[in-house]
Amino acid sequence: MNDARANTIVDIAHLAGVSKSTVSRALNDSPLVGAETKQRIREIARQQRFQMSDPARRLSLGQSHVVALVTYAYKADDTVPDAFMLETMSGIASGLHAEGYDLLVIQVSPTDTDWVRRYLQSGRVDGFILLAASCTASHIQTLTEANASFVIWGGASGSHNYCSVSGDNFAGGKVATEHLLRRGRSRIGFMGGPAREPEVRERYRGYEVALRDAGKSVDPALVTYGPFSLAWGTKAVVALLEQASDLDGLFVTSDAVAIAAMEELRARGLRVPDDVAVVGYDDVALARHSAPPLTTVRQNGPLAGRLLAENLIQHLRTGAVTNVSIPAELVVRESA
């Protein structure tokens, strides 16, 4: 190996004729080094294509500059893989990157809470990003007890002492329902996801308020909850039609499920939107190309990701707790 490239700050120090402290300070842009010295050292480092050892740095500084995105093992059958999820992840990654952080993706089992300790106490990560959909109360408790920094996507809007970023699910549900009302629908069904998810509850509230504002009240026969699965989309439509054959509008809190629902409607000879108008949620890429193209509520995934990243980092640095809500926008296509 004639690879005499400088590999540690000591090597750089030799080349520059200074001590390693000075090199360390120069590369960290400390004001304690003279301007020309700093310049010279940095130039040498550049020529040598020098990269500081990250583990050593972490060890000294006591922080990893890594954030974990906590997920469950993804199963194609019961989760619909959002464009949204990928978009958001992309936003998270670039938001973190801009601040010099890296994104670690970890999978945890729903019943295990030990991962908090494993990742935090070992210094592998500085903080966590969780998704409300896959995040139980016990997880939150564990995180709080461990004094961890974390931020949750889609948490309840209620009072809590942790950071969160959510879509404006209430507004989204409201605008979707109002749109259906404006289209002259009077028997509007609500197909939620799991009833326990805060996102779903908020969207329901929006649905409820929109109806109330229009002088109507909610008919329980028109409301149904279930998993966010395509199979359920089909089943729910069947059940809904049995309970309320005069259904003429449908607000589904997931595009994928909405598309499955539309398929079932069609299979039963009902035309969309003529017989039943349908509004989805998420604006998945395929929504634009469904039959008919789906009217839906769009959330800005990259923005969400960026905010998650920024708020978490802010919490790491300052301890500030922020709760942000990003707007929901109705995208009108042909299904309603």
Which amino acid belongs to residue 302? Answer: P
Shortest spacing between CB 317 and DNA, in angstroms: 14
**Secondary element (H or E) of residue 106:** strand 102-107
Instruction: Choose between 52 and 156: whose C-beta lies nearer to DNA.
Output: 52
If you search the block for the tokens 């809190």, which residue do you land on? 253
The item of DNA, a copy of itself, none sharing an interface with residue 332, based on CB under 5 to 8 Å by kind, is none
DSSP 69: E
What does 9 bind: DNA, a copy of itself, none (CB cut-off 5 to 8 Å by kind)? DNA
Question: Helix, strand, or coil here: 286?
Answer: helix
Q: Which residues bind a copy of itself (CB under 8 A)?
A: 49, 51-56, 58-59, 64, 66, 69, 71, 73-76, 80-83, 85-87, 89-90, 93-94, 97, 102-107, 117-118, 121-124, 230, 233-234, 256, 259-260, 263, 266, 284-286, 288-291, 301
The entry of DNA, a copy of itself, none near residue 82 (CB within 5 to 8 angstroms by kind) is: a copy of itself
**Nearer Cβ to a copy of itself (211/312):** 312
Give the one entry of DNA, a copy of itself, none that residue 31 binds, where binding means its C-beta sits below a cut-off of 5 to 8 angstroms depending on kind. Answer: DNA
Q: Which does 10 bind (CB under 5 to 8 A by kind): DNA, a copy of itself, none?
A: DNA
User: How far is it, in rounded angstroms, from Cα 296 to Cα 305?
Assistant: 20
CB of 33 to DNA, least distance (A): 4
- Residue 272 to residue 260: CA distance in whole angstroms: 13
Cis before 302 (ω within 30): no
- Give the nearer residue to DNA in terms of CB position, either 21 or 186: 21
Specify the DSSP element, H or E, that contains 307.
helix 301-318
94 binds, among DNA, a copy of itself, none (CB under 5 to 8 A by kind): a copy of itself
Cβ 100 to DNA, closest distance in Å? 12
Tokens 């030990």 correspond to what residue?
Answer: 114
In the chain, the amino acid numbered 327 is P
CA dihedral sign, ordered 184, 188, 191, 195: positive
Q: How far is the CB of 109 from DNA (least distance, A)?
A: 25
How many Cα atoms are found within 13 Å in the side-chain-facing hemisphere of 272? 29
